[in-house]
Structure 1
């Protein structure tokens, strides 16, 4: 009995010691939530240190990979919340089921659909980009999202890329300038922007297999600047990897790119994989991937392939650390970044509550749309069209009524409403008679599948010609749509010309009615041999919830168009730099792809090779006239640390108010390295009343004239003679000034 008693005493003592240790451990657990005055970076970093110290290895691992399609685990015992994400560079996506891509069919997840980012870029208005980002961030916050998966800043290299409509155009300076206020606007709401896709994801065809070979100069001068601006100037909190390879290694966990991002640029946020872009545990651990999403398609499945716990950063990472194959320090760095994200978002005590579908958001969407619509042609002042009795306007084309917020892949939306062009025109035009017919049909939109048309195309054609005969004016509303092999994720375009028999239909309409205006609804350039068959052309993009009202604003003249093209429209496909070198340049040989045009992307190619585009980068007409005059620079010679100040007058010499975008390009004369003829280095949008003149100054740091010097793997400013070009389009320069840089 005595022996048994002593044994029981020993057991009780051991249990008591464990209990005391547990209590002491609990007492060391830090307070997770912050007060409003505890949000300094120093305080938060100290807080993160204290949390990492009490996390188990398993709890750390759980933070680094998905638990559902759009969320990651928190730490429930400490009160660290989950992280919830949403697709949405153009609006917050509808709720998705936990483990597959099916819609959850909620009744309270409808949102404001904002215009595509090509339209935002076409506004050339950084302040408006900030309003766009803030409004979008408010909607994400109201929907209780912590990370908004956008904006996209991949460069427009080819008009075949299915996702160009999600991006900010062909020029790195324009994209860099527009992305910074967007990011800041989103993050003012305590929601992380997630700039994507890092990097060289410039096509959808074979995007998860293709290996991109590109020079260091093109990488740093063309494809990285917008990401760099988002990181260093926008202070973006998260960044998404890309699907493709670069020099043989997947970009989501890439040795070179990780050094550029986290060491050279000092990025302190979270790198999130694109959904399924992680491929290797060791590389993901070593080369910068912090949060792995979408690797499996059925998280509750029993197979190792599809279970969340068998993601590359899940159990395989855990086992590698336990075996000593990978350092726990690698994991701690990822956890630190994730906790930093959490304190910036869902543990931020100063976070707003957000707003959804309010009047202000609709007004921002409409303003972006009207400022982004580009007037490409206006023969005999075809636009604006007056609303008067006795005039019959025929609206012809599928895109007059087609929903453009559904489809397109991950950017698809569930807006509270979407005003079609036809509805907007009918609402605005009270006196004129509006008649409508479809003209052609393309089939419903579906992901990774081109569905056939269901209506008789010949009958639609005949009806359209009959309607055109009855009208005084025809508005043809066509272009592309969000279907497979059009403007959509998952597949590139197959042809450069207008699809679905539109050119034939347009020619037929022109035979019976010469008063034709084309409203081109696309996110991409198209071949335009039919320009002469129109009197007016408006590039209207994908405009979201307020599409129809914005289009009617421009067509009627209630708003004067001021948009400028953010990418070049080539006359034929081979005029585009990427396509001029054949299949090895685009789309690649199935394994590798070589960016043979190098740094000469977009207008840089057209300028340098002396190729005349259909419509140039930066081009856009107005209903009024402007004059740029008295262009001056503040010096004739500059040092590397000087600021180049360009001053000029802008006058509205027409009959109504309007806005002109003055563009400033600079080119190096007789450079010792290959250079484009000129590069965009500054722009400003000037609003003027009828007869008004303003004096404007654009300032550029001379150091911004640097090129990426591959001999030293750094930026170098070349001394010598430069030329400054001022105009209102890349091919419409009104003043050229010579200066020297010593």
Structure 2
């Protein structure tokens, strides 16, 4: 089977198949308009008994309950952070209608591509795969902001910057829902650590919520998302899934959301609060809502509140057409090769080259290479509910052997074998997973092994598989190259081999900052900080002791923090090397139409000055020169991925809108634009600014 895959994937490295290319991003239009869906939902609710209504808002494992009497079908769910997850027999409801699904690189690697169209195709492929398997709803994308590198679920999210996450999210949502599969954006809100997540209380101000942690949810809602999942944590002292402030005030009133809200699994506890909060569906079994009838009889809740829960739940399903379609045929889907290619393209564009001393890469095809390390035979992957096993999984050994005939593999090489090797590829990383955080440092054995190998052979290439940043300051300057490869999915090791050989020119860039040490992080000092995991906190199931997570840094997250504090990171946000070079020139900023249309036109020229074809992720940042409120040094407000042949020049154009210059005012409780002087900065990363021009608006 692996031979078939090798043949299938030896195609032009910069293009997808004809079918995949034809999946062009387009807006999502509901199958049933909102007004009609609301009318139909109300008609059904009037026919339902109280017991039927209560049954509808209590989850049934991995589906919403059906109502045979009224012809309402069940709505089936599964997870979606690395593809379509198949549930094990131990799950409440077994999704057993397929035998395999594609394991994709995780969404953090999708974000590292900075490719909006690929985000659409990636989600479209996953949604298409789910639909063919009688799965209606995929529980993703996860859009929680990367606040700290230790978060065990960072691999499921899309990085530290709200603008980047928002642009990737809106394309993900439209791609998935255009297949007829509902997306569920999660986890709302301020869920930025997974350690003891059911009893961590997030304390943050409203400006921070609006500027950093809510924009991606707003982007998903504007794109038409029809599902939102609340988070495990408390916000300002109340669990998010039963908080009227979180759901009714922030999500429904301020963000204008009118669809299904569901709880995360076993994350809400008080039936009265759940009903009054704006929540619609308690997952997985609705245990807290089991006493709803008693609350009704006691007059503590009103039947109109139950009707409201059922209404929004139904509206989303009706808008997706689930009450009108014929039952999905549980048959094996035959487009796996197309999905595999999109998974491969994601890995190709999402692998980030961090170091390449003396241009050791790309390697010669006939060169002898010693390959060793942690994930040579078994691929690293994110764990928990987002885990996808895949099929015909290609490991690093197989991929490199296919690309380099003289490569050889030693599990535990001796000092002499390391010294004598012409070149070494060493695999290291972390297996991140939900429900826990993990240390920023590698374990001592891995750290010592990198230092041993690099001290014996300076031609050492380190390949890191991880879902977020790790500490590299003890060895990053002692190795010849560092490749941040995230998690490969089932075919991503082929992309790694292609980059090592030069068949693919790396173009990925970090969607987060990698600090030198965790003490530099804005989240340093959170429970448990950089101390051993779980040292001071009770077990997750014991909710008698709640601990505070104080977002004392406010809006200064990621590169905003490092620039504000004048701390040099190890690798900045937006950073990544290429096998070619690029020249930025001729920046022009046109604000003539700003007064009437609220638009600033930015243009510049980009030239490939190297000898290889390549792609550059160009980034536009805005700096507010004179604000009445403290603001970041600069903020990302535009990006484009530009492909260039050697010597080719392209004019790059981007539009900045009035909202890009605004900030959230704590006093006015709204977005505010202040006239004044602004800087427009263009470059290759947050710290690699090449062009700057000031203007007055």
Structure-2 residue corresponding to 1:251: 240
C-alpha contact (below 8 Å) 2:455/2:478 kept by paired residues:
no
Structure-1 residue corresponding to 2:141: 151
Closer, same or farther: CA 666–327 of 1 in aligned 2, 3 Å: same
- 1:148 aligned counterpart, secondary structure: strand
Closer, same or farther: CA 121–105 of 1 in aligned 2, 3 Å: closer
Closer, same or farther: CA 155–356 of 1 in aligned 2, 3 Å: farther
**Is 1:656 matched up with 2:646?**
no
Counterparts of residues 208-607 of structure 1 (less than 5 Å) = 208-232=198-222, 234-258=223-247, 259-294=249-284, 311-313=287-289, 315-343=290-318, 344-349=320-325, 355=333, 358-388=336-366, 391-405=367-381, 408-430=383-405, 433-438=406-411, 460=412, 463-481=413-431, 487-494=432-439, 496-528=440-472, 529-579=474-524, 591-607=547-563
C-alpha contact (below 8 Å) 1:436/1:467 kept by paired residues:
no
Residues 651-679 of structure 1 show CA distances to partners (whole Å, capped at 9, x for unaligned) of 11110111001100111113211111000
Deviation for aligned residue 1:507: 2.0
Residues 419-472 of structure 1 show CA distances to partners (whole Å, capped at 9, x for unaligned) of 112211111223xx121123xxxxxxxxxxxxxxxxxxxxx4xx3534423421
- 2:69 aligned counterpart, secondary structure: coil
Closer, same or farther: CA 144–581 of 1 in aligned 2, 3 Å: closer
Deviation for aligned residue 1:341: 2.6
Structure-2 residue corresponding to 1:672: 628
Structure-1 residue corresponding to 2:574: 618
Residues 348-381 of structure 1 show CA distances to partners (whole Å, capped at 9, x for unaligned) of 4399879466111001000011101111111111
Structure-2 residue corresponding to 1:300: none
**Is 1:685 matched up with 2:641?**
yes
Closer, same or farther: CA 572–230 of 1 in aligned 2, 3 Å: same
Q: Distance in 2 between matches of 1:119 and 1:249?
A: 33
Residues 484-530 of structure 1 show CA distances to partners (whole Å, capped at 9, x for unaligned) of xxx11111113x22225122112222233221111111111111120
Q: What is the TM-score with the length of structure 1 in the denominator?
A: 0.84
Q: Distance in 2 between matches of 1:383 and 1:599?
A: 38
Q: Distance in 1 between matches of 2:468 and 2:488?
A: 14
Picking from 115, 128, 146, the partner of 2:105 is 115
**Is 1:140 matched up with 2:130?**
yes
Structure-2 residue corresponding to 1:15: none
- Consecutive unaligned residues in structure 1, runs of 5 or more: 1-35, 296-307, 439-459, 482-486
Deviation for aligned residue 1:562: 0.5
Closer, same or farther: CA 708–37 of 1 in aligned 2, 3 Å: closer
C-alpha contact (below 8 Å) 2:678/2:696 kept by paired residues:
yes
Q: Distance in 1 between matches of 2:350 and 2:35?
A: 42
Residue-pair matches, total: 653
Q: Distance in 1 between matches of 2:99 and 2:315?
A: 28
C-alpha contact (below 8 Å) 1:651/1:692 kept by paired residues:
yes
- 2:689 aligned counterpart, secondary structure: strand
Q: Distance in 1 between matches of 2:497 and 2:640?
A: 26
Q: What is the TM-score with the length of structure 2 in the denominator?
A: 0.90
C-alpha contact (below 8 Å) 1:520/1:540 kept by paired residues:
yes
Closer, same or farther: CA 99–624 of 1 in aligned 2, 3 Å: closer
- 1:61 aligned counterpart, secondary structure: helix
Residues 672-703 of structure 1 show CA distances to partners (whole Å, capped at 9, x for unaligned) of 11111000011111111111111111101123
**Is 1:703 matched up with 2:659?**
yes
Larger Rg: 1
Deviation for aligned residue 1:99: 5.3
- Consecutive unaligned residues in structure 2, runs of 5 or more: 1-28, 538-545
Deviation for aligned residue 1:321: 2.2
Picking from 54, 58, 71, the partner of 2:63 is 71
